[in-house]
Structure 1
Amino acid sequence: MFERANEYSLAFLLSKYLRMYVSKLEIENYRNFKEFSIDLKPLTQIMGENNIGKSNLLDSLGLIFSQEVSFFKRRTLEISDFNYDSIIALKKEIIDTSIVADKISYPTIKIKATLTDFDEKQEAVVTEWTSNDEFTEATLTYSFAPISSFNSVEEIELQRKFLKEYEEEIGSDAYMKIPESEILNLLNFPISKYHYRIYGGNQNETLANTYHLNQLKFELLDALRDAKTELSASRNSGLLFRVLNANEETDYQDLKKQLVGLQKAIEDNKAISGIKTRISEQLDKISLSTENSNNIVDLIFALPNVDDLLRKLSLIYNDNPIKIERNGTGRNNLLFISLMLSFIEDPKRLQSTYFRIVGLEEPEAHLHANLQNHLAQNLETLIKNGDGKYRKDIQLIITSHSNHITTKIDFENTVVLHYKENKVQPHYILEGFGNTAEEKKQISYLKKYLDSENINLFYSRKVVLVEGISEKLLFPVFYKIHTKETIEQSSCAVINVNGLAFKNFLGIIKNGFHSKCLVLTDRDTGTASENRGEALREVYKSVPEIEVKITTLSTFEKDLIAANSTEKGKAILCSVIKIVRPIAGKALVEGIAENPIDIESFFALIEGYKSEFALQLALHINNDNIGFKIPEYITEGIDTIHPPKPILNASS
């Protein structure tokens, strides 16, 4: 008994420091997520390229937690909400008559959220949904599946019969010529036989109690928010009306006192009296008077309900206030964000909840860079109390494409969605780094140098790490010459690591992010760093995603000169050196005459002007690259991240 009391006391003390949040989200067959699982934090920033699933992830949370009417309607899903591959896989099994019908399963959409770190009050809400033996976790699952009476075997046999009759109708030869994709389109998907359920815990037959479910809410500021509409209280579903209506009606009762006497004023108004008289005169002409009625009309003023008063309100802004319709979209976006945050900020108001998830999608919309920076630096404070500690009733999930915002949120809380093996995978930027002195140093470096430019690697499917500005300027040009595509078309990011910082960025790749990474480094012959390239290659040879390519000569520039010491390449280099070094360059070119370029002499002239030389060379070969040769180690490297397409012969 004493031990149990001690356990309870400890749990009570711990609950004072806990804050409930969704610690894990698992998604199956929903939109672009076939099988997906992500760990979340009280504050989570989600990055990734377009169409990677950031909005879908937020929507999946809404299917469980949102109390909005729009989400209630969305819970009954459409065929387009199913993962495309799962639908295609089902249909391929149906047309494959070698598969017995009762071995084919129709896909189910499942979204499972694991809640943890709940305090005593929150535990009272989630206790029926606990899912582990220690009662420290609770789960809620949204399921969209066929109804229990659905006969899948009968449906499959019906579809197969339909195809067989169609084949007989048009003939086997004509049927065999129809592409498989068109045959699959002929098959029906029985979406009308599906329904949704939300259940708690690991026993899927136990539906979640609606009353308790209503205590957990989800607020979404989506990327396509209509700020103008939401900032007016004229609609019940508008955000401003919801904020105003969150208080007790008695809080606004004093407003009605201002309307006393208005009926008398209406009766005394000459314009209104004239209108009433004219209506009565016209009514006399077209209606009959009886002993029980006459044609006299009046106008009566009914005291409005509080709702009616609130609908007449809208926000204005600034010292010289104007209607929101006249505001710029950026200002209205800030107003909208502020309004939403004010709605969730006061946990003591009438309609407060035990827990609320806030999804903030693309907060940068319509904001210039300075405002984005300012907003990002203050986002974390939105879920903290005055003492700087995290609140227990709010979880904030941010998605963004803004380099200004993403670099201001702590990378400990930043997860990147990326494709790996054709599946969407999550990867926290600092995942996999340990606590050794060396790893802590790497983390510090990344927090400093993953700036608004280098952060682009997390929006790309390929990354190229180069030593300096010369390679950074010229590699995109070489890539386009060799592949006939721009680096943007290939979703490739080029990162300048400023000399010797490869391992800091490669730590991210090694720990699980990205599918392909190319490192271009100098051999540095005759220097203290001479063996660095080979050592780098040795360290990462077991990581299939990383390819290290090293210059043949000591530096990138020398390989470049060697590859173009004659013919058209020579002419281009000579033109560039005369621009970069007008006097010395002209003398060098005249001295070369018809001979090949001397590598050391040429390099001596550009050694102190590498970036300017690279810029002028990029401009030249952008205009005319015919005959210019790319160093072999670079073309080999490009082929590892962008394999050349096979050449088909005429007989293929």
Structure 2
Amino acid sequence: MYVSQLEISNYRNFTNFNVKLKPVTQIIGENNIGKSNLLDSLGLIFSQDVSFFKRRILEISDFNYNTILELKKSILNTSIPPQDILYPKIVIKATLKDWNLKQEAVITDWMSNSDFTEATLTYTFAPISSFDKVEEITQQRQFLKDYEEELGTEEFKKIPESEILNLINFPISKYHYRIHGGNQNESLANAYHLNQLKFELLDALRDAKSELSASRNNGLLFRVLNANEETEYQDLKKQLVGLQRAIEDNDAISGIKNRISEQLDKISLSTETSNNVVDLIFSLPNVADLLRKLSLIYNDNPIKIERNGTGRNNLLFISLMLSFIEDPERMQSTFFRIVGLEEPEAHLHANLQNHLASNLEGLIKEEDGTYRKDIQLILTSHSNHITTKIDFENTVVLHFKNGNVQAHYILDGFGTTAEEKRQINYLKKYLDSENINLFYSRRLALVEGISEKLLFPIFYKIKTGETVDQSACAIVNVNGLAFKNFLQIVVNGFHTKCLVLTDSDIGTKSEDRAEELKNKYDGVDKINVQISELSTFEKDLIDCNKSKEGKKILCGTLKIVRPNAGEKYVDDLGTDDINVENYFSLIEDYKSEFALQLSLSLTAEHTGFNIPKYIEDGISFLDPLICK
């Protein structure tokens, strides 16, 4: 069984959000896009953890900000009748499918379709039934009216709307939560059945040191140890037999008892029913007391976890959690468990990240390669190493589109034709730890080779005043002419505004390629194909800087890249303009060295250097508001 679809309304940064999930789902996207919020929303339904029970009673800050703002503006607008104003509610709906017979016994009452192949659980945080919204809105409006009369209409009008809106209360105390199953909102989910479903979250800010000690009742190690039946630890108690006698025979303890009795004789009276003799009794600890004394140690020379490196403790913590969920035959195994793993890469070097990611999917698979029915794994990551090791079929990108967060699977829209399969294979090969950055960006520039990759960030900074990183712009070198493979992702629905910089290749066998590419994507408003005027990027660059300050920069660069031939060329050139073909012939076999050295020169000083027009136009397409 697994959650196949999650729908979220008005929760934190989600307005109306819908995402399909798989037995293993990797969620990526830029910071603050809602990856943690998505996991938290699942916890509101499935977690049995005490902290999540408390978290189910939400705060105002848990509501989508724009939803609250819209409500307050409606209250402020007295032309809207109170009965027409709707107070927002948070709704999180999880659809379950593909269960086994044991799980079916738990979810039967939650069936939600006529084929009995889907079941739903819905968390709702909404006003209580006795809440009188008309009375509430009337009171709020009366308060504002009284305040305006007190202050005076002219002074009241000077107050910014944002401050007026802050005066309007949101009746959070009138809200409560409920979890219901199926399509009947009146049918509360049976608490016993709901308890058979679990949610385990390894959050990004996990305290590995605390969790690896069993001294805390809610610590992970204690929960793992305490998950077994008490009878399995019965033999430990046998080791304590005779400990009471040993305590009584201990000279130090006997001396303490005698000294206490002597002092008691001095300050107390003996009666017929009592004397001043004291003793110490040993209370046999229960199993839980014994387990709390355990901590994990690691390595051949065992040391306490406090002495371990943070990365090692993080691996121990993940391993502990996975051992807790992996054994389906464990006595207290649940019918279904969702595991949310946030940023498993924390404190791990690249090799460890690669190794961890390569083995994550295998942890929830049967021997025949099928996914287990009792576990669903949802992980979030910012690590390019981990991201590229998880199957792209299971990788979904969260991104902003039209102001709202939306989900897009990397391979959404690709079909089963031979061409599309070839494109998928290409992407799996070339979406490496560097190129995967395109999914963390809001702008994308596809370039043909290393020269453009090195110089485009410099041109972008010159043109916009911002770095490509500040503008959330990714640059991908397609290593030749494989633009279509990457562009298909954009065509299939990924939001990125995509610029293509390509050579015209005039005078070569492929001189029609660039125009064909431009014509193919002219109808896609998110894609802009820019073509060099001359045959190559370098020739355009030389042509627009063949005189004045641009010439000085190019000549200085050439002398560094080609110390002998470059020096001679510059000396022979004198005051003449640079000849494009002659200059290009000197760098044709040194393109990457030329681009690197030019980028260093322009970083130090770019005054008077001209950017080729087709590149300027491309940058303006990517960032029309900031371009100077």
1:112-131 pair list within 5 angstroms = 112-131=93-112
Give the Cα–Cα distance (whole angstroms) in 2 for the partners of residues 350 and 286 of structure 1: 56
Aligned-pair distance for 1:394? 0.6
Instruction: Provide the identity percentage.
Output: 75
Give the Cα–Cα distance (whole angstroms) in 2 for the partners of residues 463 and 563 of structure 1: 25
1:427-466 pair list within 5 angstroms = 427-466=408-447
1:495-510 pair list within 5 angstroms = 495-510=476-491
Query: Which of 88, 94, 98 pairs up with 2:75?
Result: 94
- Give deviations 1:97-144, integer Å, cap 9, x for gaps: 111111100110000000011111111111100000001000000000
Contact 1:420–1:515 (Cα < 8 Å) also in 2: no
Query: Which of 638, 642, 645 pairs up with 2:619?
Result: 638
Aligned-pair distance for 1:587? 1.4
The equivalent residue for 1:650 is none
The equivalent residue for 1:14 is none
The equivalent residue for 2:456 is 475
Letter in 2 for 1:557: E
Give the Cα–Cα distance (whole angstroms) in 2 for the partners of residues 221 and 292 of structure 1: 59
The equivalent residue for 2:366 is 385
Contact 1:412–1:428 (Cα < 8 Å) also in 2: yes
Aligned-pair distance for 1:59? 0.5
Aligned-pair distance for 1:180? 1.0
The equivalent residue for 2:566 is 585
Aligned-pair distance for 1:332? 0.8
Contact 2:463–2:627 (Cα < 8 Å) also in 1: no
1:331-350 pair list within 5 angstroms = 331-350=312-331
Query: Which of 528, 533, 536 pairs up with 1:555?
Result: 536
Query: Which of 602, 619, 622 pairs up with 2:583?
Result: 602
Aligned-pair distance for 1:514? 2.3
- Give deviations 1:435-492, integer Å, cap 9, x for gaps: 1111111000000000000000011010000000000000000000100000000000
Aligned-pair distance for 1:399? 0.5
Query: Which of 15, 18, 43 pairs up with 1:62?
Result: 43
The equivalent residue for 1:512 is 493
SS at match of 1:353: coil
Aligned-pair distance for 1:89? 0.6
Give the Cα–Cα distance (whole angstroms) in 1 for the partners of residues 76 and 265 of structure 2: 77
Aligned-pair distance for 1:31? 0.4
The equivalent residue for 2:259 is 278
Aligned length: 628
Aligned-pair distance for 1:424? 0.7
Give the Cα–Cα distance (whole angstroms) in 1 for the partners of residues 549 and 264 of structure 2: 98
Letter in 2 for 1:528: K
Letter in 2 for 1:608: D
Higher alpha-carbon deviation: 184-193 or 291-300: 291-300
Letter in 2 for 1:31: R
Give the Cα–Cα distance (whole angstroms) in 2 for the partners of residues 556 and 313 of structure 1: 66
1:45 aligns with 2:26: yes
Contact 2:441–2:496 (Cα < 8 Å) also in 1: no
SS at match of 1:30: coil
Question: What RMSD over aligned residues (CA atoms) do the two structures have, in Å?
Answer: 1.0
The equivalent residue for 2:510 is 529
Query: Which of 171, 174, 197 pairs up with 1:216?
Result: 197
Q: Which runs of 5+ in 2 are unaligned?
A: none
Letter in 2 for 1:277: N
Give the Cα–Cα distance (whole angstroms) in 2 for the partners of residues 609 and 178 of structure 1: 64
The runs of 4+ residues in structure 1 deviating greater than 4 Å are none
Query: Which of 215, 219, 227 pairs up with 1:246?
Result: 227
The equivalent residue for 2:350 is 369
The equivalent residue for 2:121 is 140
The equivalent residue for 2:165 is 184
Letter in 2 for 1:264: R
Letter in 2 for 1:324: I
Aligned-pair distance for 1:645? 4.5
The equivalent residue for 2:334 is 353
SS at match of 2:137: helix
1:292 aligns with 2:300: no
Letter in 2 for 1:567: K
- Give deviations 1:118-176, integer Å, cap 9, x for gaps: 11111111110000000100000000000000011111111111111111111111111
Contact 2:464–2:627 (Cα < 8 Å) also in 1: no
Higher alpha-carbon deviation: 164-173 or 256-265: 164-173
Contact 2:549–2:607 (Cα < 8 Å) also in 1: yes
Aligned-pair distance for 1:288? 2.6
Aligned-pair distance for 1:594? 1.0
1:24 aligns with 2:8: no
Give the Cα–Cα distance (whole angstroms) in 2 for the partners of residues 264 and 401 of structure 1: 59
1:392-407 pair list within 5 angstroms = 392-407=373-388
Contact 1:466–1:497 (Cα < 8 Å) also in 2: yes
Give the Cα–Cα distance (whole angstroms) in 2 for the partners of residues 466 and 502 of structure 1: 8
Give the Cα–Cα distance (whole angstroms) in 2 for the partners of residues 223 and 125 of structure 1: 31
Aligned-pair distance for 1:283? 2.2
Query: Which of 140, 147, 151 pairs up with 1:170?
Result: 151
Contact 1:87–1:107 (Cα < 8 Å) also in 2: yes
Letter in 2 for 1:362: E
Give the Cα–Cα distance (whole angstroms) in 2 for the partners of residues 503 and 288 of structure 1: 98
Contact 2:454–2:599 (Cα < 8 Å) also in 1: yes
Aligned-pair distance for 1:646? 9.2
Letter in 1 for 2:238: K
- Give deviations 1:190-235, integer Å, cap 9, x for gaps: 0000000000001100000011111111111111111111111111
Shift of the 26–128 alpha-carbon distance from structure 1 to 2, 3 Å rule, reads same
Letter in 2 for 1:199: H
SS at match of 2:426: helix
- Give deviations 1:308-350, integer Å, cap 9, x for gaps: 1111111111111111111111111111111111111112222
Aligned-pair distance for 1:276? 1.2
Contact 2:464–2:626 (Cα < 8 Å) also in 1: no
Letter in 2 for 1:160: R
